[in-house]
Amino acid sequence: MTGRSLKGRVAVAGIGESRYYRHGQSPDPEFKLALQAILAACRDAGLAPTEIDGFASYGNERSDASRLAAALGIPQLRSATMQWGGGGGGCCAAVANAAAAIRAGMAECVVVFRSLAQGEYGRFGQSADLATVSGERAYLMPYGVLAPPQRFAMRVRRFMHDHGIRQEAMRAIALASYRHAQSNPRAVMHGKPLDEAGYDASRWIVEPFRLYDCCMENDGAAALILVDGQRARDFPHKPVYLLGAAAGSGYRAGADPHNAPGYAGANFGTLAPELYRMAGVSPQDVGVVQSYDNFTAGVAMALMEHGFFRPEEANEFLTPDNLSAPSGRLPLNTSGGNLAECYMQGFELVLEAVRQVRGTATAQADRADVALVTGGPMVTPTSNLLLGSEAAL
């Protein structure tokens, strides 16, 4: 452990969430959902809300830190950070930013959170009327490439072509996610199982994405509370430590229009080595993964770039049994993920990683001392993190 590492320096004190809803069905506004999740995390940690002195989020979060502090009666707000980039690329970076604030002495107790109420603010999966467009969209929207599935389908098709990835590999990711959701009463798709025939019969959204290759759209909020690692044993649950985190992207990852050198990739090529180096672990040490699943193929990209299999092994590795808890080779998205638990722009994945390390997940993996979370694939900047038990330090 070097002096500049985050390994073991910060711990998770508590986690919490609101109820998860289908998009547009929350009876509460986004700000209230955020408060519900934060208060649930405080109860989980046994902390008073007034002990919080920092907030961190991402994805253009609308629940303002100063307003949250006022609503919670916080006497002093010392840190408020927002990770650049839309979508879920920052779900892990927000945790890293909060951890860095604690490590630097700029805060003592930081809430990391995400809140969404699409009924209040509009759906992510629909294109709004715009008078002008700029950047990447200026090269896409005039030609009818409007929504995220259309944008990412081109990159995924190239990925599948380059590496011989079959549709069955993408199907396996969806089936594993839905399988895990059936044991998770929080999941929006709890009680709605998916089998091979159901996947194969589902409509095309845009090839190669069928309906079940695409994440849901939901309302809700999720939060966790970070404290200094030396306080990890002061709380009711088994300690969970941050082992490492990374954020960013490689050379010209943001080149427009669709002109990045790593076009057929998830942008973890430079991040994964940094993450493993900080944590002092290898892919073989990781027992369970929560991988941002905006689309199933993005998960395949992310797993490959984190070293769990070589490109030519993807079709053999990505099977429902290999990806299922408790004893698959690599249990994946054990709460159901964005596909089947809730689309909270990936932050529900961070909470599930905490549950896995604690040993309290509804689909618990046999090996859970080291849990990986990956942020939104194919976006930039993106991020990842590793959480672990005391045995992993």
* Alpha helices by DSSP H, the chain: 30-45, 65-72, 91-103, 118-121, 136-140, 148-163, 167-181, 196-201, 271-279, 296-305, 314-317, 337-340, 347-358
Closest CA to 244 of 103, 59, 44, 86: 103
Report residue 362 CA to chain centroid gap: 18
Please tell me whether residue 242 adopts helix, strand or coil conformation. Answer: strand
Closest CA to 339 of 155, 194, 122, 157: 194
Residues 6+ apart with CB under 8 A from 321: 328
- Confirm whether 21 is a catalytic residue: no
Cis geometry, peptide bond prior to residue 331 (ω within 30 degrees of 0): no
Catalytic residue among 20, 58, 212, 292: 292
Q: How far is CA 337 from CA 194, 273, 300, 362, in A?
A: 14, 24, 14, 13
Report strand pairing: 79-82 vs 54-57.
parallel
Angle at 92 between CA 338 and CA 194, to 5 degrees: 15
**Residue holding tokens 């030609």?**
143
Exposure letters 222-237 (e unless 16+ CB within 10 A, then b): bbbbbbbbeebeebeb
Radius of gyration of the chain (CA): 19
- Confirm whether 20 is a catalytic residue: no
Catalytic machinery residues: 292, 343
